[in-house]
Amino acid sequence: MDEIIYRTARGMAAEGAPFRGTLFAGLMIKDGKAKLLEHNVRFGDPECQGLMALCASDLTDAMLAATRGRLGDVRLDLRPEAALTVVLAARGYPGEYPKGSVIRGLEGVTGAKVFHAGTARNAAGEVVSAGGRVLNVTALGADVAEAQAKAYAAVKQIQWADAYYRSDIGWRAVERLRAGKH
């Protein structure tokens, strides 16, 4: 918080552009040292979707307080669980990738929430791919290993021939958990 978030907020204010809203910091942490990769301000990012799944509070009060500069008056409660999000991208992304391939099984997905990031409906009303990052599958669990298992089980419930996803999301956190290093 001191090294990245507060420093960013102070810098923006010093430049005459104070920020009000939601500012997400994409971090890479190595050897206990955080490096900033990017800032995002939208709820559509997979990282933010995992965090929002953990939020037990109604965000309406927080959003209104942010617009009024009164976030100090708001308390957000988080669920004591872990969240993990797996991105399903179109094969070939971030390069050239197919669009319009039919995605089936979404209505039957259990154990996770599926966020649509790059989908559309074709003339027959079927859900089809319409972008590079197409679906984000977020699951909660008592710990990261359970959240990971649930997310990948949900991914396997989706039938989409052009899907590509990483099979190693969360592996470091799972290894730390199994080694007793939370």
The answer, yes or no, to whether residue 1 has pLDDT greater than 90, is: no
The per-residue pLDDT for 22 is 74
Q: What is the pTM assigned to this prediction?
A: 0.83
pLDDT, tens digit (0-9, with 9 covering 90-100), for 42-81? 777 788 888 889 999 988 988 898 888 888 899 999 999 9
CATH code linked to domain 5-73: 3.30.470.20
Mean pLDDT of 104-133: 97
CATH number of 82-178: 3.90.600.10
**Phi and psi angles of residue 149, each rounded to the nearest 5 degrees, phi first:** -60, -45
Structure tokens belonging to residue 175? 């290894």
The SS3 assignment for 167 reads coil
Percent residues over pLDDT 70 in the chain: 99
> 133-141 and 33-40 as β-strands: parallel, antiparallel, unpaired?
unpaired
pLDDT at 182 over 70: no
What pairing do the DSSP bridges indicate for beta strands 82-90 and 127-129? Answer: unpaired
The per-residue pLDDT for 44 is 72
- Report domain extents, the chain: 5-73, 82-178
| 82, 128, 132, 153, 171 from 160: Cα distances, Å | 27, 9, 14, 15, 24
Confidence of residue 168 (pLDDT cuts 50, 70, 90): very high
76 near 110, Cβ under 8 Å?
no
- pLDDT tens digits, residue range 122-167? 999 999 999 999 999 999 999 999 999 999 999 999 999 999 999 9
DSSP per position, 35-49: EEEEEE--TTSHHHH
